[in-house]
Amino acid sequence: MIAFPNCKINLGLHVLNKRVDGFHDLETVFLPLALKDVLEIITADKLTFTMTGINIPGSADDNLCLSAYRLLKRDFPLLPPVHIHLHKVIPTGAGLGGGSSDAAFTLKLLNEKYHLGIRQETLLQYAAQLGSDCAFFIENTPCYATGRGEILEPLAVDLSAYQFLLVHPGIHVNTGWAFGQLSPGKPGHSLREVNFKDVQDYKGKVSNDFEAAVFQAHPEIAAIKEQMYATGALYASMSGSGSAVYGIYEKGKKITGLFSETGYSVFRIS
């Protein structure tokens, strides 16, 4: 059985406070985008994992797809061993949630393939154990998110009338470092006050708390955002703690030559 885990971007991201458990309370809006990995699961004699595409640093045994399988295996001991193959397209360490998406889709695929009968609410609980934004990919629709990112409220946002330019400069921004640069606090206004149906309402109202520190450390990431605005983006922002930057453009607008000579990974998503 095959699935296609997609990425996400953050429409705004506020870090409100540090919690006693070491995590942070956040406020953000998650938006799924159609940049996708490929995930295949088949029944096997023993649990195995292989991967192609973009290399993921670290041991394959620590991959979140395997963590998702092992999480379900504890509660469903009759779950058979499987072979998991992941073809990686979504850049890693980019603020796009690719690893979280792969884990969440593994949960959904195992549930469907082996008829485990796990309800959506329970899948969300499993996903939250794997990572702060894993639960979003169970819903996989625009959501206003709070808590660690696992408390989700569906948001009626349809941006199909726009096109997205997604640029990853190949820089890995360490999430722990990024959080360490912040002084959490209440934002000037909540993202609840933004009309997310109107992209024209974003600029000046929708912000990412990580940008200031990341842009100072990596001016080339700030330059990507500036170039997007210079070429007609209605709104541009870094996603998550970086380093990918996205721009939202009017559909049909030609965006030619931008970043073509930089060696950056560039994705155009309609």
Q: Can you give the CATH number for the domain in which 117 is found?
A: 3.30.230.10
Q: Is 102 annotated as catalytic?
A: no
On whether both 125 and 21 belong to a single domain, the answer is yes
User: How would DSSP label each residue in 212-261?
Assistant: HHHHHH-HHHHHHHHHHHHTT-SEEEE-TTSS-EEEEEETT----STTTT
Given the residues 8, 88, 108, 225, select the one marked as catalytic. Answer: 8
Both tokens of residue 60?
A: 């394959």
Question: Would you state the pLDDT for residue 261?
Answer: 65
Cα distances from 19 to residues 24, 65, 129, 147, in angstroms, run: 5, 27, 17, 10
Q: What is the CA radius of gyration of the chain?
A: 19
Same-domain status, 131 and 187? no
Let me know: does 244 contact 94? Beta carbons within 8 Å: yes
My answer on whether omega of the bond before 67 falls inside 30° of 0, hence cis, is: no
Closest C-alpha to 30, from 184, 148, 114, 182: 148
Here the CATH number for the domain that contains residue 262 is 3.30.70.890
Q: 92 labelled as ligand-binding?
A: yes
Q: Which of 154, 187, 203 is the last residue of a domain?
A: 154
Q: Are residues 60 and 193 in the same domain?
A: no
Phi, psi of 220 (to 5 degrees): -65, -25
Domain holding 68, by residue range, is 2-154
Same domain, residue pair 120 and 185: no
Whether residue 148 is found in the same domain as residue 183 = no
Same domain, 183 and 263: yes
Q: Are residues 176 and 143 in the same domain?
A: no
Predicted local distance difference test score (pLDDT) of residue 56: 84
Same domain for 135 and 175? no
**Residues 51 and 9 reside in one and the same domain:** yes
Cα separation, 172 vs 243, whole angstroms: 6
Residue 133 among the catalytic residues: yes
Is residue 95 a known part of a binding site? yes
Q: Is residue 166 domain-shared with residue 121, that is, in the same domain? A: no
Task: Say whether 175 counts as a known binding-site residue.
Answer: no
Same domain, 170 and 146: no
Q: Is 117 annotated as a binding residue?
A: no
Q: Which one from 37, 102, 133, 209 is the annotated catalytic residue? A: 133
**Confidence at residue 260, expressed as pLDDT on a 0 to 100 scale:** 65
DSSP state of 184: -
The one-digit pLDDT tens for each residue of the chain (270 residues) are 999 999 999 999 999 988 888 888 999 999 999 999 999 999 999 999 999 999 887 888 889 999 999 999 999 999 999 999 999 999 998 999 999 999 999 999 999 999 999 999 999 999 999 998 999 999 999 999 999 999 999 999 999 999 999 999 999 888 889 988 988 888 878 899 999 999 998 998 999 999 999 999 999 999 999 999 999 999 999 999 989 999 999 998 888 767 766 789 999 998
Query: Same domain for 22 and 120?
Result: yes
Give pLDDT, residue 257: 65
Last residue of a domain, one of 109, 135, 154: 154
| Residue 159 annotated as binding site | no
User: How many structural domains comprise the chain?
Assistant: 2
Tokens standing for 81? 């061993």
For residue 195, the model assigns a pLDDT of 92
58 is in an annotated binding site: no
